[in-house]
Structures are given as structure tokens and as C-alpha cells.
């Protein structure tokens, strides 16, 4: 993992991560610590561990994936438009079966 900082517009720093070959794991830790120090110096912030909630999004990190959910936002919208008391219905399609293109069907431009 390599960290590169890009300066965008009004002094917004954006970390960009991509894979590189490092000789030692210590190089990665050093780069991450440098980035953390830069952010703390530039902005009023602190490191409080793994990210779990940001800007209304729930974040769950796994070994090979990152999941982002908006359950709180969806619940708020349902409550706002008084749909929270309604009955839920299961998905009327088999979730395990992949969707396939109909070979006899006609292509449509929507």
C-alpha cells in the first residue's frame, strides 16, 4: 500500500492508496504514521481506531472487502414519509439465482 496526497481545489487533501511492493512491513507502517501526522497537523482530528460510522454511513471492514450501509438514512426517510408502520414484503425473486439475458429478447435503449 502506498499513500499519495493530491491537493484538490480549496486545500482538500485526498489520500489515494494503491498496491506496491515493499521490502518491509515497517515501510507501510511508517507511511501510514506520516499520513496520520500530516492529517492531525492540518486538521483538528484524532485517531480513534477502526472506522465504523462516517457521514451517516455505517462501515464494516473485512479482510478482503469493505461494506457500506445506509440503514439509518433509510429508516429516517421511511419515518419522514410515514412508511415505517407499513408491512414489509419479501423479495419476489429468487435472490440466489443470477439474472441472465433473454437470448430471444429484443434489446431496448431506455
Residue 12 has pLDDT above 80, yes or no: no
The mean pLDDT value of the chain amounts to 73
Whole-structure pTM value: 0.36
- Give residues with Cβ within 8 angstroms of 60, minimum separation 6: 52, 66, 67, 69
pLDDT digits (tens, 9 = 90+) for 42-83: 888 777 777 788 777 888 888 888 888 888 888 888 888 888
Please tell me the distance from the alpha carbon of residue 56 to that of residue 74, in angstroms, as a whole number: 10
Amino acid at each position: 500500500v502506498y499513500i499519495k496526497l493530491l491537493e484538490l481545489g480549496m486545500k482538500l487533501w485526498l489520500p489515494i492508496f494503491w498496491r506496491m511492493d515493499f521490502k518491509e512491513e515497517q515501510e507501510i507502517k511508517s507511511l501510514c504514521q506520516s499520513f496520520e501526522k500530516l492529517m492531525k497537523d492540518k486538521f483538528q482530528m484524532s485517531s480513534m481506531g477502526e472506522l465504523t460510522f462516517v457521514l451517516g454511513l455505517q462501515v464494516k471492514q473485512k479482510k478482503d472487502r469493505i461494506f457500506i450501509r445506509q440503514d439509518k438514512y433509510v429508516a429516517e426517510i421511511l419515518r419522514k414519509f410515514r412508511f415505517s408502520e407499513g408491512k414489509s414484503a419479501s423479495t419476489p425473486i429468487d435472490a440466489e439465482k443470477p439474472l441472465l439475458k433473454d437470448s430471444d429478447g429484443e434489446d431496448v435503449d431506455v
